């Protein structure tokens, strides 16, 4: 077999290699392997405490890694190569890698003392070095895209949960990430506001080149939107596959139990 350099596109956008995460003696991720292709949309489902949030938080470097390596865009995330060896990444490497990733949180985490426009221009100005004009132009475009053209001057406290979450999505997109992480972004919303946020995510997936990972309990949305669904159980992927297959015809008993429990609840 001849060795040829893999073309850009065949390399996964995100790769977890035997990634382990512990809190004290509790093993939250147990040598997790997971590859996510460029522009792939992956839905993560699973029972509470199975490590879904942890996967996203590790990618965002909000948690430190206890074992294994995470690669993003072909480069190790929390490690870097030095003299052919993998060593712990320094701050400048971490910052460069973080720039490839954006995250939307369950509780929005908007900056309450800034308007929606202010929320969306802060990091582009401070981190990307855009001028206020450039940052505002980009922010306006994004806020318009998420349907908040008339809310640019509003503070978070003046908006509904659905509107706040859409600002949070625009804020993350303003940093031009390659990977977007969504952690149960509709769980804190009143039922009638869930649709407007999911619609924005749907459009994002259609119109932008983005790799998307989303933890969700919205099985209907996962089925229609995701390319692949991963079922997490006790820090491992117990089963994964195409949404129709995994959700309609699960092979594992645990998956079946989980899905019927979710179905019953909704």
Partner 1 sequence: MFWDWNYAIEILPILARASIVTIQATLLGFVLAAVLGLVFAVLRMSRARWVSLPVAALVEFVRSTPLLIQIFFIFFVLPEFGITIGALTAGILALGLHYATYCSEVYRAGLENIPRGQWEASLALNLSPYHTFRDIIIPQAIPPIVPALGNYLVALFKETPLLSAIAVLELMQTAKILGSESFRYTEPITLVGLFFLVFSLAAAWLIRRVEARLSLSKV
Ligand X SMILES: Nc1ncnc2c1ncn2[C@@H]1O[C@H](COP(=O)(O)OP(=O)(O)OP(=O)(O)O)[C@@H](O)[C@H]1O
Give contact residues for partner 1 (rule: CB under 8 A): 60-62, 95, 98-99, 101-103, 105, 107, 109-113, 122-123, 126-127, 155, 157-158, 171-172, 175
Return d(Cα 149, Cα 167) in angstroms, integer: 11
Instruction: By CB under 6 A, tell whether 28 contacts ligand X.
Output: yes
HSE of 177, CA atoms in CB hemisphere, 13 A: 28
Q: Which does 28 bind (CB under 5 to 8 A by kind): ligand X, partner 1, Mg ion, none?
A: ligand X
The CB-of-181 to Mg ion minimum distance in angstroms stands at: 12
Closest-CA residue to 18 (of 60, 74, 58)? 58
Whose Cβ is closer to ligand X: residue 54's or residue 164's? 54
The CB-of-235 to ligand X minimum distance in angstroms stands at: 7
Q: Which does 102 bind (CB under 5 to 8 A by kind): Mg ion, ligand X, partner 1, none?
A: partner 1
Of positions 23, 62, 74, 112, contacts ligand X by CB under 6 A = 23
Whose Cβ is closer to partner 1: residue 71's or residue 98's? 98
Whose Cβ is closer to ligand X: residue 134's or residue 234's? 234
Whose Cβ is closer to partner 1: residue 27's or residue 123's? 123
Return d(Cα 95, Cα 35) in angstroms, integer: 22
Instruction: By CB under 6 A, tell whether 19 contacts ligand X.
Output: no
Which 39-78 positions form the footprint of ligand X (CB under 6 A)? 46, 48-54
Quick count: other Cβ atoms within 10 Å of Cβ 24? 5
The CB-of-110 to partner 1 minimum distance in angstroms stands at: 8
Return d(Cα 214, Cα 221) in angstroms, integer: 11
Closest-CA residue to 219 (of 41, 22, 23, 44)? 44
The residue with its CB nearest to Mg ion is: 53
The CB-of-48 to ligand X minimum distance in angstroms stands at: 3
Q: Which residues bind ligand X (CB under 6 A)?
A: 23, 28, 46, 48-54
């Amino acid at each position: 077999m001849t060795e040829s350099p893999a073309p850009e596109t065949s390399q996964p956008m995100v790769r977890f290699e035997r990634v382990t995460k512990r809190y004290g003696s509790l093993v939250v991720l147990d040598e997790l392997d997971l590859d996510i292709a460029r522009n792939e949309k992956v839905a993560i489902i699973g029972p509470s405490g199975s490590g879904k949030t942890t996967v996203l938080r590790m990618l965002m470097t909000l948690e430190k890694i206890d074992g294994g390596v995470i690669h993003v865009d072909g480069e190790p995330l929390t490690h870097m190569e030095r003299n052919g060896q993998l060593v712990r990444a320094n701050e400048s490497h971490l910052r460069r890698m973080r720039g490839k990733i954006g995250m939307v949180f369950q509780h929005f985490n908007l900056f309450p003392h800034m308007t929606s426009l202010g929320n969306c221009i802060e990091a582009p100005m401070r981190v990307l070095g855009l001028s206020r004009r450039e940052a505002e132009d980009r922010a306006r475009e994004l806020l318009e895209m998420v349907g908040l053209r008339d809310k640019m001057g509003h503070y978070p406290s003046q908006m509904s949960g659905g509107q706040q979450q859409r600002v949070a999505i625009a804020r993350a997109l303003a940093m031009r990430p390659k990977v977007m992480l969504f952690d149960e972004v509709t769980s804190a919303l009143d039922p009638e506001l869930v649709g407007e946020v999911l619609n924005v995510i749907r459009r994002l997936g259609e119109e932008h080149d983005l790799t998307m990972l989303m933890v969700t309990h919205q099985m209907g949305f996962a089925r229609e939107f995701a390319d692949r669904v991963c079922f997490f159980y006790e820090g491992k992927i117990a089963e994964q596959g195409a949404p129709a297959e995994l959700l309609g015809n699960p092979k594992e008993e645990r998956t079946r139990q989980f899905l019927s429990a979710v179905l019953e609840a909704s």
